[in-house]
Amino acid sequence: MLPTLQERVSETTRETLEEMGVAVRVSTTVTRVQPEWVEVEGGASIPADITIWAAGIRAPSVLASLDGLAVNHINQVKVTSSLQSESDSNVYALGDCASCAMTGEAPVPPRAQAAHQQAMFLFKALCARIDGRPIGAFTYKDHGSLVSLGSPTAVGSIAGITSTGKFFVEGFVAKLMYAALYRKHLVAVSGLRRAVFTIAAHGLGRLLTPRVKLH
Ligand SMILES: Cc1cc2nc3c(=O)[nH]c(=O)nc-3n(C[C@H](O)[C@H](O)[C@H](O)COP(=O)(O)OP(=O)(O)OC[C@H]3O[C@@H](n4cnc5c(N)ncnc54)[C@H](O)[C@@H]3O)c2cc1C
């Protein structure tokens, strides 16, 4: 599970989920979903009242029909290291809809920090292009990951603090970091004033509304 994250993060996530009473089955391919059960490879079936499917990502199919732009098997536009389409250098793509191969490494992962870094790169690249300067190449820096596992806990790894480049956080500290990161994101997206009101409204809502929906 969580194959793109550090092994320790994925192992702790599994342990935490199991402590919460969740049965985790890895390397188990679902072959059929029925109203009352889910069938897995080998024919075994798991009883299920409610089934939630959350496997994998795929970019919108419209990308595969954009005037012949090269896309990969999950419809992401294939781009060079300068985020230009491999088929047309006048078309740029970034974030989840782009597949950007890094030299000798796995493609840039479909994550918020990657999309953010690519947006910052592209802003400078487009200014450079307008000015007739060279664009340069995008490099992805993994600053670590935090995984929220419900209200009491989270786990994660953060880059750049220890000599090994990453340190591991879990429980309340990770949860605090996750909450701080979310608020930082709110400020970036909505501006400081709106973010303060949103956070205050959310806090008040939590104080005033019941934890269980009553009607
Ligand atoms: C449940 C979930 C949890 C996640 N948690 C994390 C996490 O903890 N950390 C992390 O780093 N990443 C996380 N991600 C991944 C992260 O959300 C994405 O990598 C990031 O949002 C990608 O940014 P983006 O701008 O490329 O795409 P998006 O944020 O998806 O923005 C694309 C926008 O395009 C719009 N759009 C789509 N099709 C069209 C169309 N045809 N016309 C016009 N507009 C269109 C969409 O409505 C959307 O607003 C998570 C993703 C999911 C689904």
Q: In the chain, which ranges are E strands? A: 30-33, 37-40, 45-47, 77-79, 98-100, 144-148, 154-159, 166-170
Q: Give CA–CA dist 199/183, Å, rounded.
A: 8
Residue 196 CB partners (closer than 8 Å, separation 6+)? none
- Which residue carries 């597949």 as its tokens? 99
- Which residue carries 């419900």 as its tokens? 150
Closest atom of ligand 1 to 110 CA is 19
* Alpha carbon of 18 to ligand 1 centroid (Å): 29
Question: Is the CATH number 3.40.50.300 carried by domain 61-131?
Answer: no
DSSP one-letter string for 156-207: EEEESSSTTSEEEEEHHHHHHHHHHHHHHHHHHHH-HHHHHHHHHHHHHHHH
Q: Whose CA is nearest to atom 50 of ligand 1?
A: 111
pLDDT of residue 159: 65
CB atoms within 10 A of CB 13: 21
Q: Where are the domains of the chain?
A: 7-55+143-205, 61-131
pTM, 2 dp? 0.78
* Alpha carbon of 110 to ligand 1 centroid (Å): 9
- Which residue carries 């935090």 as its tokens? 146
What is the residue-level pLDDT of the chain in tens, covering all 215 positions?
777 777 888 888 898 889 889 999 988 999 999 999 999 998 899 999 999 998 877 899 999 998 889 999 999 999 999 999 999 999 999 999 999 987 667 789 888 889 999 999 999 999 999 999 999 999 998 888 888 887 767 777 776 544 455 778 888 888 888 889 889 989 988 999 999 999 999 989 888 887 776 66
Closest atom of ligand 1 to 62 CA is 41
**Residue 200 Cβ < 6 Å to ligand 1:** no
